[in-house]
Amino acid sequence: MEFSSLLDTSLNLNAKPPPLPPPPPDYAKQEGESQSFTAFGRNEERGALVEEINRMSAENKKLTEMLSMMCENYSGLRSQLAEYRSKKRKSNDNVESSSSDEDSSNKTLIKPNIISHSHVRTQASDTSLVMKDGYQWRKYGQKVTRDNPSPRAYFKCSFAPTCPVKKKVQRSVEDQSIVIATYEGEHNHPHPSKVEAPPNRSSPSLSPLAPRITLDLTNSTPSSDDLRGKAQVQHCLVEQMASTLTKDPTFKAALAAAISGKFLQQNKW
DNA sequence: CGATTTTGACCGGCGC
DNA sequence: GCGCCGGTCAAAATCG
Q: Per residue of chain A (269 residues), what is the pLDDT tens digit?
A: 433 333 333 444 444 444 444 444 443 333 333 444 444 456 777 788 888 888 887 877 777 677 666 656 655 565 565 555 544 443 443 333 333 333 333 333 334 445 666 666 554 444 445 545 667 788 999 998 888 888 899 998 877 767 778 888 888 877 777 888 888 877 777 666 554 443 333 333 333 333 333 333 333 333 333 333 444 444 544 444 455 444 444 444 555 555 555 444 454 34
pTM of the model: 0.44
User: A221-228 long-range contacts, Cβ below 8 Å, gap at least 24?
Assistant: A228/A24
Question: How many beta carbons lie within 10 A of that of residue A203, not counting itself?
Answer: 16
CA/C1' separation A85–C4 (Å): 21
Q: Identify the residue whose Cα has the smallest distance to the C1' of C4.
A: A146
- Which nucleotide's C1' sits nearest to the alpha carbon of A103? C6
CA/C1' separation A202–C15 (Å): 13
Q: Round to whole Å and give the CA distance between A130 and A167.
A: 11
Contact A152, A144 (CB under 8 A): yes
CB of residue A140 closer than 7 A to nucleic acid strand C?
Answer: yes
Which residues neighbour A90 within 8 Å (Cβ) at sequence distance 6 or greater? none
Positions of chain C reached by protein Cβ under 7 A: 4-10
CA/C1' separation A97–B13 (Å): 20
